[in-house]
A = this chain, B = another copy of it.
Amino acid sequence: MSPVIRFTILENIKNIVIFVSNIKNNHFIMTKEELMRKAIELSMENVANGGGPFGAVIAKDGEIIATGTNRVTASCDPTAHAEVSAIRAAATKLGTFNLSGCEIYTSCEPCPMCLGAIYWARLERMYYGNNKTDAKNIGFDDSFIYDEIALKPADRKLPSEVLLHNEAIKAFEAWADKEDKIAY
């Protein structure tokens, strides 16, 4: 066998081994760059489809669980950011509110609402493409919300007031006394 033929056969065997090693449970394992590229692709498509320029992917072990795009204006839902949408879809798909073991790939650094959702969902890692400054430069400025959340209620621009604390606490007491509650 000539050296050239032997080299070609070995190269092919190597490629097959790489391909097979990327397959797990009949699903192709995507790299983090491929998963981010998918989130970016969603953000591009969403601009063409009347949504904001944001896309997100929830993945587990390199496999896509669910995706989301920003549908705030299209769905009349101020909470329908790409990350929240992807988290809700992934939780529905997996049948659990706890997405530990999953990672999020988002085309832009999340706002405080989405970051809060990422923590509540127990996502283990976050990858993002654009940053807050990029978002601000095209009119999506969430620095105001970051600033407000860090303040005490009385110091925020959002007016707030405590009402009927002595009545509200009764539901917490009922929760504390409940024996069959599902804590989370």
Q: Give the number of residues in A that approach B within 8 Å (Cβ atoms).
A: 93
Binary CB contact string for chain A from 10 to 22 against chain B (1 if under 8 A, 0 otherwise): 0000000000000
Enumerate chain B residues within 8 angstroms of A160, measured Cβ to Cβ: 125-128
**A23 CB within 8 Å of chain B:** no
Known: A44-B174, A113-B116. A129 touches B169 (CB 8 A): yes
Contact of A130 among B120, B148, B168 (CB under 8 A): B168
Contact of A79 among B46, B73, B120, B130 (CB under 8 A): B120
Binary CB contact string for chain A from 91 to 110 against chain B (1 if under 8 A, 0 otherwise): 11011111100000101110
Known: A149-B112, A171-B47. A158 touches B88 (CB 8 A): no
**A164 CB within 8 Å of chain B:** yes
Query: Considering only CB atoms, which chain B residue lies closest to A106 in the complex?
Result: B168
Listed by A's residue number, 23 A-B pairs whose Cβ atoms lie within 8 Å are: A47-B175, A50-B182, A55-B171, A76-B95, A76-B96, A77-B91, A77-B92, A79-B79, A79-B87, A111-B120, A114-B116, A115-B116, A119-B145, A126-B153, A127-B161, A127-B162, A128-B160, A128-B168, A129-B163, A129-B168, A130-B165, A130-B168, A149-B149
